[in-house]
A and B are shown apart, each in its own frame.
Chain A
Amino acid sequence: MIGSFSWTHLWYLVDSIWWTVVLSLLAFVLGSIGGFGVMLARISTRTWLRNMALLYIECIQGIPLLILLFIVYFGLSVYGFALPALVAAGIAMMVYTSAYLGDIWRGCVEAMPKPQWEASECLSLTRWQTLRLVIIPQATRLSLPPTIGFLVQLIKMTSLASVIGFVELTRAGQIINNSIFQPFLVFTVVGTFYFLLCYPLSRWSASMERKLNVSNR
């Protein structure tokens, strides 16, 4: 096709996008579940639970994702938990995503006007009912743009999984480059694929933010 870069190479790259998507979705879905739990803990009425969640968020946000990957992949294997690269990457990214989404969502829930809580309380709704029926449906709207914004970061960060040998888009690019040594071309193509994945999401996030601003104030 171009130099020694063949259609086979291109197809290999396209194929590896799938694994980037799988890892992104895995991290996002698992991280959302974890993040929801972290958010609940952060707004709990129990002080110890709030503090534990805060500690978790601050620790995870202070550690590079790459180091988390090393801990889960290399660190655990020493103790006999030799995890497949996809599982290790999934776990590390879940831990990481939980901390960020938990904090983003806590902010959205806390941004809901206090009188909404008060009105629900006066209608005899329980705290959990209030959260489920009144607060979260409203906070969800608010949380969509930053959540999708984070998803875009997440997709790009899956490239770090290449260092533990998980063959996703970046790793596939490295493999091809190792054999044909055309780094400018290969990594430009890889970069383009990331862009094509992320750009529509960024646009979606931005357009939602615009819509929210119109109807909210």
Chain B
Amino acid sequence: MSAIANPASAAVSAPAAIVAPIIKVDQITKSFGANQVLKGVSFEVARGEMIAIIGASGSGKSTALRCIDRLETIDSGAIEVAGIRVDDPAVDLHLLRREVGIVFQSYNLFPHLNVLENVMLALRHVKNQSKSEAQKVALAALAQVGLDEKAGAYPEQLSGGQQQRVAIARSLAMAPKVMLFDEVTSALDPQLTGEVLRVMEDLAAGGMTMILVTHEMNFAKRVADRIIYMHQGRVWEVGPGDMLDNPQTPELKAFLAADL
């Protein structure tokens, strides 16, 4: 196996060393009132890498993710995404959000628009695409999540899993460089979780740079290039998927035991 001949696959096995990281999170802190939820979190994500962030509720994992898209501002530290300094107060948020797609636990589809219109909205009004062009892009994105046949349906007519896949397609259609997933399967029944995870797995296989905050340990272990375990506002342990088989810290050990 030649790591030098194929930098893309090399990036997966040794991310930071070969390719410049597309996301750099450096010593960020964040407090809500007196409660410091992030206490100096650092990590880097290489292009094409899939990172799973795990940890107990209140460990700061969702907050860290939201800081990357500047849905929360940080108190100190630095975040850089695709060359954009996210912590810069004058950052161009519209530019940042064209590079970063985010999917939420609660789907947040627009209930007054049908599936196709949901996906087309930003294509039309942010990317200023023509109607036919936007429709083509939107249908392609819907096909990617296996829902092109539901283009005319309204969100309320879809199952939770289908709604979440539309939400993924809506982000995906904007062709972001990075996709963030904030506990996207936490509101779903186990049988609906699978279809959403499959879509994410396809995305990862397609080379999308992804960070997901998740409770799906088996999925994280199998699909993620690296896992970040957060505990009490810090990165506690980082490693490849199989780090879950032999946790190094008692905290991760306890967390995994509680999860089973």
Q: List residues of A whose CB falls within 8 A of some B CB.
A: 115-116, 118-119, 121-126, 129, 133-134, 137-138, 141
Residues of B within 8 A of A (CB): 69, 71, 93-94, 97-98, 100-102, 104, 106, 108-112, 121-122, 125-126, 170-171, 174
Picked from B106, B112, B174, the residue with its CB within 8 Å of the CB of A123 is B174
Partner of B104 from A115, A124, A134, A138 at Cβ < 8 Å? A115
- On chain A, the residues within 8 Å of B101 by CB distance are 122
Task: Please list 21 pairs of residues, one from A and one from B, whose beta carbons are closer than 8 Å in the complex, sorted by A's number.
Answer: A118-B71, A118-B104, A118-B108, A119-B109, A121-B93, A122-B69, A122-B71, A122-B101, A122-B102, A122-B171, A123-B97, A123-B170, A124-B97, A124-B122, A124-B126, A125-B125, A133-B121, A134-B110, A134-B121, A138-B111, A141-B112
Give complex CA distance A124, B69 in Å: 11
B97 touching A138, Cβ below 8 Å: no
Closest residue on chain A to residue B127 by CB atoms = A124
The complex places the Cα of A61 from the Cα of B79 at a distance, in Å, of 49
- Least distance between B155 CB and chain A CB atoms (Å): 12
Beta-carbon contact of A125 and B126 below 8 Å: yes
A212 to B97, CA, bound (A): 34
Q: Which residues of B contact A126 (CB under 8 A)?
A: 94
CA distance A137 to B110 in the complex (A): 10
Q: Is the CB of A115 within 8 A of B112?
A: no
Tell me the complex Cα distance, A133–B108, Å: 15
Q: A125-B126, A129-B125, A133-B125 are in contact. Are A119 and B111 (CB under 8 A)?
A: no
CB distance from A63 to the nearest CB of B (A): 37
CB nearest to B100 among chain A residues: A122
Per DSSP, chain A at the interface is: helix
| Contact (Cβ within 8 A) B97 A121 | yes
Q: Which 6 A-B pairs have the closest CB atoms?
A: A119-B108, A123-B122, A124-B97, A115-B108, A124-B126, A124-B94
CB atoms of A116 and B108 under 8 A apart: yes
CA distance A119 to B69 in the complex (A): 12
Residue of B whose beta carbon sits closest to that of A216: B111
Contact A123 B121 (CB under 8 A): yes
**Chain B residues within 8 Å of A129, by CB:** 125-126
- Establish whether residues B71 and A124, one from each chain, have CB atoms under 8 Å apart when the complex forms: no
Chain B residues positioned under 8 Å from A138 (CB to CB): 110-112
Specify which chain B residues have a CB less than 8 angstroms from the CB of A119 in the assembled complex: 104, 108-110
Q: How long is the Cα–Cα vector from A126 to B125 in the complex, in angstroms? A: 9
Complex CA gap A138/B125 in Å reads: 18
What residues of B have a CB within 8 angstroms of the CB of A141 in the complex? 112
Q: Is the CB of B126 within 8 A of A116?
A: no
CB distance from A208 to the nearest CB of B (A): 16
Contact B106 A115 (CB under 8 A): yes
| Closest Cβ–Cβ distance, residue B79 to chain A (whole Å) | 16
- Min CB distance B222 to A, Å, is 28
Which residues on A sit within 8 Å (CB–CB) of B98?
124
A37 → chain B closest CB, angstroms? 23
**Interchain CA distance A133-B97 in the complex, whole Å:** 18
Instruction: List 17 additional contacts besides A122-B102, A129-B125; criterion CB under 8 Å.
Output: A115-B104, A115-B108, A116-B110, A119-B104, A119-B108, A119-B109, A121-B97, A122-B69, A122-B171, A123-B170, A124-B97, A124-B98, A124-B122, A124-B174, A133-B121, A134-B121, A138-B110
> In chain A, what residue has the closest Cβ to B174?
A123
Interfacial chain B residues near A125, Cβ < 8 Å: 121-122, 125-126
A123 to B126, CA, bound (A): 8
Query: How far, in whole Å, are A118 and B170 apart by their CA atoms in the complex?
Result: 14
